[in-house]
Amino acid sequence: MNLKNKILFLPKNNLLPRFLSSEKFLEQTNDIKKLSLRITKNKKSLYDKMETIFHFVTNNFKYCYPVKNRGVKNLKLDKLIGDCGEYSSLLITMLRCLGLPSRNQTGFVIDPKSKKIVEHGWASAYIKPYGWMDLDAQYASIDKENWRNYFFQRSGYRINFVNGFNIPIKPRLSPKFMSDNQKKIDTPFSYNSIQTLQPIFFVFKERIKFKENFTFSSALLF
């Protein structure tokens, strides 16, 4: 879809307040606000502003995993380092600073050739009249020549499990679970919520063992 020459309208702010606000892991710090406004100040159209922020994140991040301290407030804006979650988190936060509703997407990407499944996080932004549209800065940083494939487009086969961060956990986690698992599970979580980089989060009263098996058919993929 070519949006360059189309007029893009933002929804009224009161329709999607959750995806405009500053929240845990997506903190709209003064430095991020200033950066977002500074690099887009000479851009007239909304499209050009979004493209400028997308390129900033794509071109200035260095991939690194695992991440020690999650949350954009912990990023060094002059030396950006992080994984797919941090790429998308900064992109979302900067877009929100401009008043554009944005959110995290978490799920899996399927490679139809190798039939492998990869856990991944990316972003999406809400644009009238099109709705939620995908933005994947981390994949664009790997495939810079074809960056447009990741800008308001969904590349490849993706399964989306979770929209947004800070997903409520009900019932509340017990102190025992917290003490046993906080260092083992590579996802920031509290008694009441989880950031949800991992698409599936299991909580059981008893310890269990399980295996994951994925089988893909070419008929299903195509």
pLDDT tens digits for 151-160?
998 777 888 8
In the predicted structure, residue 62 carries a pLDDT above the cut 50? yes
- Residue 2 pLDDT level (bands cut at 50, 70, 90): low
Highest mean pLDDT, choosing among 84-98, 110-124, 183-197: 84-98
Place of tokens 């702010």: 13
Paired tokens of 161: 């499990």
Q: Which has the minimum average pLDDT: 21-25, 60-64, 204-208?
A: 204-208
Higher-pLDDT residue of 81 and 202 is 81
| Dihedral, CA of residue 94, residue 97, residue 99 and residue 105, to nearest 10 | 40
**Farthest-apart Cα atoms in the chain, separation:** 57
CA distances (Å), origin 131, targets 44, 65, 106, 120:
22, 32, 18, 21
Bond prior to 112 in cis (omega within 30° of 0) = no
Distance, in Å, from the CA atom of 28 to the CA atom of 96, rounded to the nearest integer, reads 8
Average pLDDT for residues 127-135, to the nearest whole number? 87
Task: Set out the domains of the chain in order of their start, with CATH numbers.
Answer: 13-163 (3.10.620.30)
Distance, in Å, from the CA atom of 130 to the CA atom of 109, rounded to the nearest integer, reads 23
**What pLDDT is stored for residue 216 in this prediction?**
47
**What pLDDT is stored for residue 3 in this prediction?**
59
Q: Which has the minimum average pLDDT: 7-21, 23-37, 94-108?
A: 7-21
Do 70 and 195 touch, CB atoms closer than 8 A? yes
In the predicted structure, residue 108 carries a pLDDT above the cut 50? yes
User: pLDDT tens-digit profile of 25-37?
Assistant: 999 999 999 999 9
pTM (whole model) above 0.85: no
**Which of helix, strand or coil describes residue 59?**
helix
**What pLDDT is stored for residue 221 in this prediction?**
38
Element (H, E) at 123: strand 116-127
